[in-house]
Amino acid sequence: MKNIIIFIQLGMLLCMSSCNFLNVEDEFNDMFSYDSVFANKRNVERYLWATAANFPDEGKLFQYPYTPGPLACDEAFTTFGSDQFLGMGFVLGEITPDNSGGLGNWGTMYKIIRKSNLIFSRIDEAKDLKTTEKLELLAYTRFMRAYAYYNLLMDFGPLVILGDEVMHNNASIDYYNTHRSTYDESVEYVCGELEAAAVNLPITVPISQFGRPTKGAAYGLIARLRLQHASPLYNGGSVAKTYFGSWRRSVDNAYYVSQTENVERWALAAAACARIMNMGLYELHTIKSDVNTPKLPQGVPSTLFPEGAGGIDPFRSYSDMFTGETVPQTNPEYIWGRMSGNIADITRHSFNGDILGGFNGMCVPQKVIDKYKMADGRSIQNSSSEYPYSEDGMTNTGQMTFSGYTLNTGISNMYANREMRFYASIGFSRRYWTASSTSDTRKKNITVTYDKNGNSGRYSSANVKNDYPSTGYVITKYIHESDAWSGEGAQRVAKGFPIIRYAEILLSYAEALNNLGNASFTVTLPDGFEYTAYRNLDEIAKSFNRVRYRAGLPGLTNEELEDPVKVQEQIVDERMIEFLFENRRYYDVRRWGIYEESETEPITGMDIESAEPEYYNRVIVNHSRVRNRVVNKKMIFLPISRTEIRKVKDLDQNPGWAN
């Protein structure tokens, strides 16, 4: 009874004085078992992986997401409830310092950090740990802590860095008073921790441990952060001045984001990417061509991949790694990934409702559709006579099947002759849905239509009023041909989610080199890897073109390569298409400094209020969520909870958000 009274009194004290993100009451339950936790190797391992389990499923990007994600930028749209689809809530101005909706997981990430610090402070108590075992566990712990900081940095910006300190839980409020590091300091700290973790992380893990971080995972996060740190928003220049020119730290008046441009950061980013490329462990996912693979268009190099697009099936090489057809655990493109039940579940939000058992509203804007190339690599504005683009009329070539995909006849000409990633990723009106796992013939092999009189349009649903594609397009990137949500035997193929793909490293490498201008730097990374970076046109073309060749497209032209602006434009477009619905676009438009430009463009789609052929006219989506969309510089970062800001005197809020 005495212990219970002490426990209650201590809890009351902390409720009054502690800072939630530094020390929360929910950890009292394991306070009294710490001696046993660190008594032996087995318990330490269990505690470590139980702590890691606090990280969200990185594929949880849409319904109750951990981060704003695709719905909070120009690559996605939905009419589903913004109380669940929080990315929509963010762009509608519903996320505030008083209502985070759970975005960003500020408290959870600091909980992981505190638990990691506890492992550092007490791991020596486990006497049965061999030296090599302890080094590996400490590497995992350091990676875990760095990854928590990484998540905070991406969504909230400059960090509150706790170092190795284990926060006491019965101190006065002054003990918890702290301030944020600058953005530069935060990046250097996280990258330094990842470098240190990488020393003793395994190079690979067994299939049974798929999802655990490796040396490549640490290097991949470093490469991503180095590229972001070099980008215009965070690297001095006019963009950094526009967004952060007046944001200073209250304790010393230091700029939170540097106002002085440093070109060498691009070299550091290039070196971080080159290090991964030189490991020789990763490559783009490809599937060999067969009799069902379409012939490459004229102008696309037929040399064997990776020197050209020959010998591979572009559709399956891209599609199979998202649908689950390729087992994620054996995918050589995954630098770091995980199995994701959330990705499998979210496919339902693209399926037709009344026939296929879905929710029919995970939409893609017309802007994205227009970025997909024609089959020969030309833009829709500059299509060729061999692969023409037209917004008039319908195809009459008969139903075609290629690479396991069925393309209906009678589709709009605007959907004909497109690149393979378009067919792999986009559901458009008159698309053919196989849903082959069900034995119910009424629930499979369905042509879905979204016009006013269609079987899946706004007025077709007998259920919820929001179950329709407001743009006339849905995402199909993660849907396997056998996936079904309705009918006898309906099931879904298990999906993986790529946290870091090798394609990202290739495109990031090209971007970093392209932005070096006339400068040249020799960079030595902490592990001794040395790299000389300059605007090497051969290297830019080699890395960028491999991603294009995998998609069955030609690479950069010599004219484009000579012009850094044109190369950057191609990289911007390529990243939008290649990483669609993978949670890269939200961060990309911010780091490039084009957030306001991209977000103020109206969301357009097909005219779902009309029957064919008028349905195929482009219109601005007629919905309050388009009219009420908020674009504001403050939305570069999420707001920190007002409760935390008011508890910690020196903790500054993110710019534009009220304290």
Torsion of CA 635, 641, 644, 649, to 10 degrees: 40
Closest CA to 362 of 498, 479, 487, 489: 479
CATH no., domain 2-283: 1.25.40.390
Arithmetic mean of pLDDT, 638-658: 95
Give the model confidence (pLDDT) of 205-246 as tens digits.
Answer: 999 999 999 999 999 999 999 999 999 999 999 999 999 999
CB 543 within 8 A of CB 503: no
**Is there a contact between 339 and 445 (Cβ–Cβ < 8 Å)?**
no
Does position 5 have pLDDT exceeding 90, yes or no?
no
Q: Which of 44-53, 66-75, 459-468 is predicted with the least confidence, judged by mean pLDDT?
A: 459-468
Looking at every residue in the chain, the average pLDDT score rounds to: 94
Lowest mean pLDDT among 363-372, 455-464, 484-493, 630-639: 455-464
Longest dimension (CA), the chain: 86
- In the block, tokens 């690599």 appear at 377
pLDDT at 3 over 60: no
> Within 10 A of 93 (CB to CB), how many other CB atoms are there?
13
Residues 6+ apart with CB under 8 A from 375: 297, 387, 417, 418, 419, 420, 552
Which amino acid would we find at residue 522? Answer: T
Contact 391, 413 (CB under 8 A): yes
Q: What is the SS3 assignment for 553?
A: coil
Q: Which of 239, 117, 247, 119 is nearest to 180 (CA)?
A: 247
Q: What is the pLDDT of residue 167?
A: 76
Q: 167 or 443: which carries more pLDDT confidence?
A: 443
Within the chain, which residue ranges are assigned CATH 1.25.40.390?
Answer: 2-283
pLDDT of residue 434: 98
CA distance 250 to 239: 22
- Rounded CA-CA distance 347/350 in Å is 6
Amino acid, res. 452: K
19: which residues sit within 8 A by CB, 6+ positions away? 173, 176, 644, 647, 648
Strand partners, 338: 497
Query: What distances in angstroms separate CA 172 from CA 5, 276, 456, 645, one per listed residue?
Result: 20, 46, 60, 17
User: Residue 11 pLDDT more than 70?
Assistant: no
Alpha carbon 281 to chain centroid distance?
Answer: 22
Residue 433 DSSP one-character state:
E
Q: Does residue 25 surpass a pLDDT of 60?
A: no
| pLDDT beyond 80 at 187 | yes
Per-residue exposure over 156-183, b if at least 16 CB sit within 10 Å of its own CB, e if not: bbbbbbbeeeebebeeeeeebebbbbbb
Question: For 385-426, what is each residue's pLDDT tens digit?
Answer: 999 999 999 999 999 999 999 999 999 999 999 999 999 999
Q: How many CA atoms lie within 13 A of 629 on its CB side?
A: 23
Identity of the amino acid at 211: G
- Say how many Å lie between the first and final Cα of the chain, rounded: 42
Q: Does 168 have pLDDT greater than 90?
A: no
In this model, does residue 2 exceed pLDDT 60? no
**Pseudo-torsion of CA 196, 199, 204, 210, nearest 10°?**
-30
Question: Residue 83 pLDDT more than 80?
Answer: yes
Give the C-alpha separation, 377 to 647, whole Å: 55
238 residue type, one letter: S
CB 74 within 8 A of CB 589: yes
DSSP state letters, 322-371: HHSSS-GGG-TTEEEEEE-HHHHHHGGGTS-STTTSS----B--HHHHHH
Query: Dihedral of CA 179/184/185/189: which sign?
Result: positive
Q: Is the pLDDT of residue 341 over 60?
A: yes
Q: What is the mean pLDDT of residues 142-152?
A: 99
- pLDDT single digits (tens) 89-134: 999 999 999 999 889 899 999 999 999 999 999 999 999 999 999 9
Residue 266 scores a pLDDT above 80: yes
Structure tokens at 385: 């006579």
